Every structure is written in C-alpha cells, then in structure tokens.
Structure 1
Amino acid sequence: MVLRMNHPWPHPDSGIYWYRKRVPERLKPLVGKTEERISLRTRDPEQARIEFARVCLEVQQRWRELSAGPRSLSERQAAGLAGEIYDAMVKEHGDNPSRMPGRSLALMLDQAALRRGSVRMIPLPDKRPSVAGTV
C-alpha cells in the first residue's frame, strides 16, 4: 500500500497553492474545524513547497500545544505574554488601543466566562435617536 504524503494543493480556479490537512479527531473540539486550510500565497511550485514546510511546522506545533492541554505560567511568562498581546494591540490600533471596537464586549465576555453564574449580562436599549423623529 502506498501512503501519499501531504503536499501543496493548487486551487483549481486561482492556481494559488494551499496547505490542507485534516484535523485529528481528538483536536476537532479545540480547533473548531475538521480541516486546516491556509493559503501559501504563491503560484510558483518551488516557493509553495518551501512555504508548505514552514506552515506545516507551525500547524504541527500548534496542535502539539493543544494536545498538551492547559498549563500554568510563571508570573514572568504571564507578563511576557501580556506584553506581546499589548504590543499587537498598539500595532493594530495605534496609540489608543483601549478604544478599539468591541473591546468592552470582549472584556465582559471574559468576565462572564471566568465567573460563571456570578455575572449577569443585561442588554441595554439602543440610545441612538430614531430616524423617524428627525427633521
């Protein structure tokens, strides 16, 4: 029996190569999908093979981390991770990352997840003026 190795897949319409791999059954609930698909952003077969190897390594590392389950961090590791997240927020939203859209909702959802049963979320009515009342 011949086993076929995973290789770059050319999209039939665009010709752009993709990384495609089925997610292992045990990781499907954590990954949230059945297949990992990532564009390699090239039509060149040689470049696609190089990019495929890089993406394959990243996916395998991520799956290995997910398989290991939750782990505790030292204070130094937690602070370093928080710093990386903050740097990404500043890079994406400029000098005022606290004003990024959806931030308040994300914080409320985090609190609700951390304190199940003790946090109640009550939707508030929209306070924008109605269009019918304007002249």
Structure 2
Amino acid sequence: MTSTDTPASLAEIRDEFLELPEEERLQLLLEFSNELPALPAHLVDHPELQERVVECQSPVYIYVEVVDGVVTMHATAPPEAPTTRGFASILAQGLTGLTADEVLAVPDDYPQSIGLTRAVSPLRIAGMTGMLLRAKNQVRRKR
C-alpha cells in the first residue's frame, strides 16, 4: 500500500497536520479529541457490540457499520485520554462515508504518516494503528 491509496478524507486530515509546524500538531490532535462524534443510541444501549482496542492503554472501543457498502465508524475513548481520543476521532471522521473497499485500501501505516511520531509515544501510535486494523477487520467481516 502506498500513500496514494489514502482516501481523500484521510489525506486531507494528514495534510492538515503536516502543514503545521511540528510543535502545533498536538494542539490539532486535541481539537480532534473534542470532535469525537457521540455514539448513537443503539450502541450506547448495547456496549457488547463494541470491540475493545487492546493496543490502547486507555479503554477504547470501536464499532463499524457497513450499510449498502458504506462504512460508518463509531468509537469511544475517555476524555482524560485526549491523545487517544483524538486518534479515534481522526479515524471515525476519516473512515465514515467511505466504501468498504476504500477503507480496506487505507495504508496500515497511516498513523505514522500524519507527522506525530516525534510528538507522541510509540505506544500511542501503536494504539491508533490497532484502531485502524480492527476497523478494517470489522469491515472485512461485515461487507
């Protein structure tokens, strides 16, 4: 997979980070953390449907829906884990609305491409990678 496989929604987010000086990228990640969409009621009432992302130190759960070939990603992450919450928000916003094939084509190393590898710990990048890979696995099962 190459960066040319990155769907426009995620490429735009990546470019938004890379256009900023490195020291300002964490602030943008924090802005994303405040934009994590709330779970819909049918998931709030059924937490057992959500998959725990064990690669994350914080309790992060995701659920991917595929309806008529279009993906919607839902995620939860605690407010006291803004970095992780920001990563979940990036993926929820960037993957939602894509086709299943577009999601599956997202490069597995997308988290390393957004310019945060020196600003956050490798464990946090691994957590975002875990979120992406689990989302892709759910898409594979549900398409």
Larger radius of gyration: 1
Whose helix proportion is higher, 1 or 2? 2
TM-score by length of 1: 0.25
- TM-score, structure 2 as length reference: 0.24
